[in-house]
Structure 1
Amino acid sequence: MKRLWLSTLVVGCLLGLATPTNTAGQTRLKEKTPEQLAEAEAPAVAGQYLIKFKPALNTASRSTTLKNLGADHLQHLASLDLELIEFAPLKQNATPEQTERVLAELKNHPAIEYVEPNYLYAPLYTPNDPGLGQQWAWGVIKAYDGWNITQGSSSVIIAIVDTGIQTNHPDLDAKIVAGYDFVDNDTNAMDGNGHGTHLAGTAAAETNNSTGGAGLCPNCRLMPIRVFNNNGSGTLAAVAQGITFAANNGAKVINLGLGGSASTTLQNAVNYAWNKGAFLTCAVGGSNSGTPTYPAAYPNCFPVAASGKTDIKTPSSGYGTWVKVAAPGASIYSTWLNGGYTTISGTSTATAHVSGLAGLLASQNRTNAQIRDRICATADPIAGTGTYWSCGRINVYAAVQ
């Protein structure tokens, strides 16, 4: 009679019971190798394995063996003569140790030639934009790994409340939705300064289009909202209207790379947008001071400081435990006026990175509160965490998993 040792083993693992260490053919966990650990911990469908029976085993014997193992047969891969099997007790909450033990037992079964988990794979996404080599931030914040999980959704709109956007820029034109110009009071929110265009490119430039650089949320769309004139100045009324316009017109993320005096009107506009479901990313300013700035310091804003290539606060960035995160804000390459590109620095460029990450998270149907908590919870605790910022430097891959 065939032994039912593996089904007993699986149930024992799930119940936390000790399994015999002297059973013939068993591999003890204390003897595990790095290769065994990697095999057990790699992403795979829980409880599923691909096994190849030894050639001498006929169909009836294979079926009997699977029954005695306590395994469900899911599929026969004819071309490779493989069986996809599943152990129902391991479908949820299986630990790497349990997976490793099951693998060891299956490998030592006399009827099985080889076995491996039903691993998970994903496209390896590296954009072909020629300026990618100048965008050092993507590697530091693990954007490439994050893009293998999600590249965002066209249903998510990131509003750039700033100097407008060059809407016909070849690296932005396919991403633009209707916005508004609160300086000239018309629908043509064309940028005549460059700042807003730069932030737009960092957050969500057209990506993998053989042009310029990449944007952190490749599939998100952009809403140009002009609240500053070509000299880079604007009024409270314009900024407040820009924020509420974005919220009323479907923006899931609102980028505020701006700052000034504390204001009830400004705070009310921030609260209005938050209550509409928008996530607001706010630059903390370049004063090299721990003094709170506005709107960044309002509870419904997400304040962002700037860090450099070596994960150190940039010399001019604002700071303090009231600041949530750091993000790349030194020598950032992105879109500029006249269809061009340039490199600038500042907490506003750091904020655009966070807006792109927020766009990716919004594409996963997270609420603004969930986005806030997720970015903080998954940030890397680089030097300065707890002093210059409370959560750390953003990590795209960790956030979108």
Structure 2
Amino acid sequence: MQLSLEPDRDAGPAGPLELAARLTPNPTALSDAGLAALIETAYRASLKREEGRYPSFQLFSPLAGGPEPVLDLRFSPPQPFCLNTLHRLSPGIPPGPYAFVVKESCDGLWTEGVARVEYSGFAALRGRIDYHGGTLFPGLTLHVSAPARMRAVLLSREGPASYLELKEGRLTRCHDNAFSPVFLPLCRRAAAALSPRAADPGPLPGLVKATLARVFSLAVAAGHGGMFVFLPAAEPATGRAAGLLSPGVGVAWPNLGRVAQNLAEGGRNLAVHLEQWDTATRVTSQASCVDGAVILDPALSVLGFRVELLAREEDALPVCAALSPESSEPVPAGVVDLSAFGTRHRSAARFCARVPGAVVVVVSQDGEMRELMCLPDGRVGVCGPLVPMSVSAPVA
């Protein structure tokens, strides 16, 4: 089922009713009126402070006729879905990966209980690079994170999740990067660098995907913004890249590629390798919170952080093309004017233009992520805004 979730940055102010209207056709188990009531009540709750704090919570509605998540906390009796319920109960419920499960009856909306609606996806990704990861339960998840700010995430049975965010009175559509035309080739390239002679790399490509997805997800969750630079393998691009990077802080470990290889090999030390994977992805993501970029080689060894990209600010910005996040191939879908973006994005574009084969991932402080690469015609492709595919925790 296709939704009318077109980007709407310049269409004027928007509010909860506009958000509900854009989730059409409505695939959830709620009626159209129930869906509108769900979003409007959540919006009103986001504006009301309780004991000096604004609430943060998630709501979930399953697809019509679809499976329902198992309730980890079942209310007896079900609680009415209203402002008072959200304010009284939300402080006791983690906003993620859990959500209030909301149902509808002839008497209106009710809160049945609480269920986990986000999963690690790690086990599935161990074997398949073309798999979304199963990181969300099919249905509509509504995440309230700040006053008048909410994100609707709709996962149908057919494909990747779609995201529609209401922020600062405007609606913005984005996707996750599970199949993006920059992220997916980057994962394949890294897996090939790690096992160049393997006819069948086995679970390694999926593990590379899970590893990078977790790094990006944790970097976004940190809320500081950051940048990751993936160097090309081919000369002379590698030498050209070295001349455009400040020394920064050199790093000899972690090697994310080696960590992924350890997991791919399995064996009796799997628990040790999982713990190593957890630590390596955490420290790599946290390093991006320092000003400057995290630098990784083609085999995903971290070479340094707090590295400045030395492409000069006075140099003209390269021509940039928007890449469709709905295609796993780099399909230009318009022009991007990076002059309206911050220093990170502009320096990333200049770097990619001068170092073909490099990939730069920029994380904004507001949680948006963009992936940049040089296209064969010399333009810089920009894919985003994106939400990193969530790989929340290692699961054996």
Give the alignment's TM-score, normalised by structure 2: 0.24
User: Based on CA coordinates, which of the two structures has the bigger radius of gyration?
Assistant: 1
1 or 2, which has the higher helix percentage?
A: 1
Q: Greater relative contact order: 1 or 2 (C-alpha under 8 angstroms, separation 6 or more)?
A: 2
1 or 2, which has the higher strand percentage?
A: 2
